[in-house]
Amino acid sequence: MFDFSYFPVLETAHFRLRQITSADADAIIGLFGNPEVMRYSNSPPILTNEAAVEFINWLEGHFQHRAALRWGITFRGDDRVIGTCGFHFWDAENRHTDIGYDLLPEYWGKGYMTEIVRVLVGWCFQNLNLHRIQADCTAGNIGSERVLEKVGFTLEGIWRERDWEHGRFVDIKQFGLLRREFLPPGS
């Protein structure tokens, strides 16, 4: 099982997933300051260098406490962060975790996130001794739903008006994937 003694680097056919550092502050502002990226989020946008560094330090703290990992997504051969992905709410005893991901809008609809999430899910199942991975998304976030479905997740339910986003209550769709249902990349 993964022991958090190092930050793993993952690779797909097109992408490299690596640790996010303070050098990525501008990329974090570009990502989490983008209204389209934040459309389905109840988190405040990240608009300043100070807020970006605070966010990066927060991610590092989760890694140091062996609780979560969030990778920066880069194209292979280009170190600029264009998105993030990772796991959180890891429950080792009950063998499940949640995943999340985001990507700059100019890269949406190209199958990139599906490629990335397959590798992320495969790594989580292989290295965290998981039985289940779950993800949720705001109702209406069709792109995110499609990614989860293509990777093999099943819609398990809807939390009606669970979150307050942009001045209104929104429904949250819950998806789940069991280890036995997952087809690794290349299968």
Q: How confident is the model at residue 142 (pLDDT cuts 50, 70, 90)?
A: very high
| Closest C-alpha among 161, 160, 150, 95 to residue 128 | 95
The model's pLDDT over 150-171, given as tens digits with 9 standing for 90+, comes to 999 999 999 999 999 989 999 9
Burial of 30 (0-12, 13-18, 19+ CB in 10 A): middle
Burial of 25 (0-12, 13-18, 19+ CB in 10 A): buried
User: What would the mean pLDDT of 42-50 be, rounded to a whole number?
Assistant: 96
60 within some domain: yes
Q: For residues 97 and 44, what is the distance between their CA atoms, to the nearest angstrom?
A: 24
128 within some domain: yes
Residue 187 has pLDDT above 70, yes or no: no
User: What would the mean pLDDT of 52-77 be, rounded to a whole number?
Assistant: 97
User: What would the mean pLDDT of 4-32 be, rounded to a whole number?
Assistant: 97
- This prediction has a pTM of 0.94
Beta-carbon neighbour count of residue 26 at 10 Å?
A: 13
Whether the Cβ atoms of residue 41 and residue 165 lie closer than 8 Å to each other:
yes
User: DSSP label at 67?
Assistant: S
187 within some domain: no
The model's pLDDT over 110-121, given as tens digits with 9 standing for 90+, comes to 999 999 999 999
Q: Kindly write down the DSSP assignment for every residue of 43-74, as one continuous string.
A: SPP--SHHHHHHHHHHHHHHHHTTS-EEEEEE
pLDDT of residue 184: 75
pLDDT of residue 138: 96
pLDDT of residue 54: 98
- Whole-number mean pLDDT of the chain? 96
Q: For residues 131 and 57, what is the distance between their CA atoms, to the nearest angstrom?
A: 30
1 within some domain: no
81 within some domain: yes
Q: For residues 39 and 31, what is the distance between their CA atoms, to the nearest angstrom?
A: 12
Q: For residues 81 and 21, what is the distance between their CA atoms, to the nearest angstrom?
A: 10
165 within some domain: yes
Residue bearing tokens 């039985």: 131
185 within some domain: no
Percent of the chain with pLDDT over 90: 96
Q: Write out the residue range of the structural domain in which residue 48 sits.
A: 10-180
3 within some domain: no
Provide the token pair at 144. Answer: 């995110």
CATH of the domain at 80: 3.40.630.30
What's at 43, amino acid-wise? S
The model's pLDDT over 70-107, given as tens digits with 9 standing for 90+, comes to 999 999 999 999 999 999 999 999 999 999 999 999 99
Q: How many domains does the chain fold into?
A: 1
Sign of the CA dihedral running 50, 51, 55, 58: positive
